[in-house]
Structure 1
């Protein structure tokens, strides 16, 4: 009996030691710069003044559970470990076009999409870069989510001088450490949600470069050109503490063109309200991909995307958040298939460019191929 107790004691001490070592390793790794920083000091005080920050975290306008009724987090984790999900990423190299962004004439109004939610927007000569991720990954872990073959053809070196970098939220597939670091010298301003400036400041951005906004605020770019920060239904976080920086959508109004970018977020009544506030939307750039009925509250299904665009009364739709990273279990090309079918009877025009293809915002006759067809 004494021998057994001694063995049990040694085993428990060994397990405790291993746990302490593991905790220290996690703590040390989480201190790496790619995890960013939490707001503190003056920035934290500004966060706390927001009416959307309650009980220690930012909240959505409509409180509802992340996991849909009838599903469970444990069930989703178990399913991801035990079930086979076909065709979640392409076998083939995705087709693309390498547009020279530095040679685009200043009088062209264009969008160039880089896959997932990253895109370059030029309006009235103003250069805007949205949610750039050029590192080829959507995770801080070495074995994490990697970009599809052919989807990662742009680097920070390909990007011209940027007037405004817009950040919808601080998840890794939208805010990339390596990309943000590389773009700092060529970025005039970053517009992000309250609290998110802590990441950029840790990564070498000056206070003068960082513009942090709440919902229902704006940035005056120049006469007749305004960037409005609007709500979405999502969350944020890069570590163990979530929702410490605010998630945004954007309405961009130039003298002759308007663009709405949804950011990430589930369907809610906000689209009708945004349409009332901004009644003339030329282009809606909408999240459409990496969805699941189990977390439908924070990521729209394609049917909800089509409904939201009609409620926004947008003239054109550019679907994003697909064709670069697998973050859900649907087939990689399903978002494009479903939104193409759904859009046939809708009043808006659908644009489905290849990665890198120039979308001419003033040309409503521009044609787009269904480039994802016949890709294995």
Structure 2
């Protein structure tokens, strides 16, 4: 009996040592620069003064559980890890177009999509870059989520100087450390939600470059041109602490064109409100991909995207958050297949450009192919 107790004591000591070593390793690994920083000092004061920051974190307008009723976190995790879902990744290289972004006519209003939620906008001569991820990955962990073949054809060197970098929120598939570091000398201003400025400042951006905003505030670009901050229903966080940096959607209002970018977020009444508030929306750039009924509260399903586009009264829909990273269990091309079917005979036009294809925002006759159809 004493011998058995002795063996158990040794096993216990070994387990404790392993746990301590693992904890220390994780602690120091999480202090790496790519995980960013939590707001401190004046940035923290601004965070705490926000009416949307309550009980130690930012809150959605209407609180509801992340996991849908009838599901549980352990069950969802088990299914993801131990169930084989077909066609989650493309076999073929995705088709793409390499547009020379530096030689685009500055008088033209255009958009170039880079896959997932990264895109370039030129509006009234102002150059805007949203949620850029050019590192080929959506995770800081070794062996993490990698970009599909053919989806990562652009680098920071391919970009012109950027007037405004827009960040919707600080999750890794939207805020990429390597990309942001490389962009620092090309970006005039960063617009982001309260609390996110700490990441940029740690990564070398100057306070003058960083414009942190709360919901319903705005940035004056030039006469008749504003970037207006709107809400969304989501979350934030790059480590074990969530909700310390605000998540946004954007309404870009110019003398010639109005554009709404949804960022990430589940369904609520904001689309009706925004549609009524601004009246004319030429383009809605909407999250459509990496969804699951189990976490429907924070990522819209395609049928909700179609409904939201109608509520916005948008003339054109460009679906993003797809075709670069697998972050859900659905087939990789399902978001585009579903939104295409749902968009038939609707009051808006669906635009499905290939990665890198030049979208002429003022050309309602520009054709778009269902480029994914023959991609395995």
Q: How high is the TM-score relative to the length of structure 2?
A: 0.99
Q: 1:236 is matched with which residue?
A: 236
- Per the TM alignment, residue 34 of structure 1 is displaced from its structure 2 partner at its CA by 0.5
Residue 282 of structure 1 aligns to a residue whose secondary structure is strand
Partner Cα separation in structure 1 for residue 62 and residue 259 of structure 2:
25
Structure 1 vs Structure 2 CA RMSD? 0.6
Deviation at 1:215, TM superposition (A): 0.2
Q: TM-score, normalised by structure 1?
A: 0.99
**Counterpart for residue 245 of structure 1:** 245
Q: C-alpha displacement at 1:2, in angstroms?
A: 2.4
Measure the CA separation in 1 of the matches of 2:203 and 2:248. 21
Structure 2 residue aligned with 1:55:
55
The answer for the alignment partner of 1:179 in structure 2 is 179
User: Cα distance, 1:277 vs. partner?
Assistant: 1.4
Q: What is the distance in 2 between the residues matched to 1:199 and 1:313?
A: 35
SS at match of 2:76: helix
C-alpha distance in 1, partners of 2:74/2:158? 42
Pair 1:202 & 2:202 matched: yes
1:75-122 CA-to-partner distances (Å, cap 9, x unmatched) read 111111221100001000000000000001110100000000000000
What secondary structure is seen at the aligned counterpart in 2 of 1:24? helix
Distance 1:285 1:158 in 2: 22
Q: CA deviation at 1:320?
A: 0.2
* Distance in 1 of aligned mates of 2:78 and 2:369: 38
User: For 1:294-318, what per-residue CA distance to the aligned partner results, in whole angstroms no more than 9, with x for missing partners?
Assistant: 0000000000000000000000000
CA positional deviation for 1:41:
1.2
Describe the superposition over 1:210-244 as per-residue Cα deviations: whole angstroms up to 9, x where unpaired: 00000000000000100000000000000000010
Cα shift at 1:13? 1.4
Which residue number in structure 2 is paired with residue 105 of structure 1? Answer: 105
**Number of residue pairs matched?**
376
Residue in structure 1 matched with residue 329 of structure 2 by the alignment? 329
Q: Which residue of 1 aligns with 2:20?
A: 20
Tell me the secondary structure at the aligned position of residue 251 of structure 1.
Answer: strand
- Which aligned segments of 4 or more residues in structure 1 are displaced greater than 3 angstroms? none
Map of 1:284 onto structure 2: 284
Pairs within 5 Å for 1:136-285: 136-285=136-285
Partner of 1:11: 11
1:178-223 CA-to-partner distances (Å, cap 9, x unmatched) read 0000000010000000000000000000000000000000000000
Shift of 1:4: 2.2
| 1:300-311 matched pairs, under 5 angstroms | 300-311=300-311
